[in-house]
Amino acid sequence: MDAIELLTADHQKVETLFSRFEAAGPRATTTKRRLVDQIITELSVHAGIEEMLFYPAVRRADSALGDQVLEALEEHHGAKTFLAELERLPAQAERFDAKVAVLIEQIRHHVKEEEGELFPAVRKVMSKEDLADLGEALENAKATAPTRAHPHQPDVPPFNIVMGLPMAIADRAVGAVRHLVSR
Ligand SMILES: [Fe+2]
């Protein structure tokens, strides 16, 4: 998969999780908790690899796309704030469903802009070979991307890369013992 195919497949994966959440009944709190935990992991990894590799490559390929990338970074920042809050918010909380609904709304907007505007523009300025290489790099980076949201950490190179690895290790450690600590 080239970079754009990989990122589009990620978008489809989270859209499936969103639809499942929306189909879950008001009392299906265990299912909704599990879905939101999956959404947190998927979106954190996705945002992390875009910020580490894709957005910097886009800006390097064409500086005119810088404004679109900056807007995307702000949208990521907003989403991460929701994700960090949702990680701690019990599924039974009064605000839980509303918070997820607004997150879904914002991510759908972000995906629409990326797939409708940014990705087609990137296809025009990057070669097939570069997009294929970038796809491979994105796939490899998934293994070491953060799995939890860190809205207050740097999101542009070099500091997101410097901070990213220790955060990713810590995230996986937290994930491994999550079932041992009370939520
Ligand atoms: Fe994105």
User: What pLDDT, on the 0 to 100 scale, is given for residue 21?
Assistant: 98
User: How many other C-beta atoms can be found within 10 angstroms of the C-beta atom of residue 94?
Assistant: 7
Q: Is 146 left (phi over 0), alpha (psi -120 to 50) or beta?
A: beta
CA dihedral of residues 140, 17, 96, 52 (deg, nearest 10): 20
Q: Ligand 1 centroid to 109 CA: how many Å?
A: 10
Q: Ligand 1 centroid to 149 CA: how many Å?
A: 13
Handedness of CA 99, 105, 111, 117 (dihedral sign): negative
Q: Is the CB of residue 90 less than 8 Å from the CB of residue 96? A: yes
Q: Ligand 1 centroid to 181 CA: how many Å?
A: 31
Q: Ligand 1 centroid to 50 CA: how many Å?
A: 6
Q: Ligand 1 centroid to 116 CA: how many Å?
A: 12
User: What pLDDT, on the 0 to 100 scale, is given for residue 144?
Assistant: 87
Q: Ligand 1 centroid to 115 CA: how many Å?
A: 10
User: What pLDDT, on the 0 to 100 scale, is given for residue 168?
Assistant: 76
Q: Ligand 1 centroid to 71 CA: how many Å?
A: 10
Q: Ligand 1 centroid to 183 CA: how many Å?
A: 28
Q: Which CATH architecture has domain 3-180?
A: Up-down Bundle (1.20)
What backbone phi and psi angles, to 5 degrees, belong to 175? -60, -40
Q: Using CA atoms, how far apart are residues 146 and 168, in angstroms rounded to an integer?
A: 4
Which residues of the chain, if any, have pLDDT below 70? Answer: 162, 164, 166, 173, 175-183
Query: Token pair of 113, please?
Result: 């802009």
Q: Give the distance from CA 43 to its chain's centroid.
A: 3
Q: Ligand 1 centroid to 48 CA: how many Å?
A: 9
Q: Using CA atoms, how far apart are residues 8 and 111, in angstroms rounded to an integer?
A: 9
User: What pLDDT, on the 0 to 100 scale, is given for residue 129?
Assistant: 95
Q: Ligand 1 centroid to 51 CA: how many Å?
A: 8
Q: Is this model's pTM higher than 0.85 or not?
A: yes
Q: Ligand 1 centroid to 96 CA: how many Å?
A: 23
Domains of the chain, by residue range, sit at: 3-180
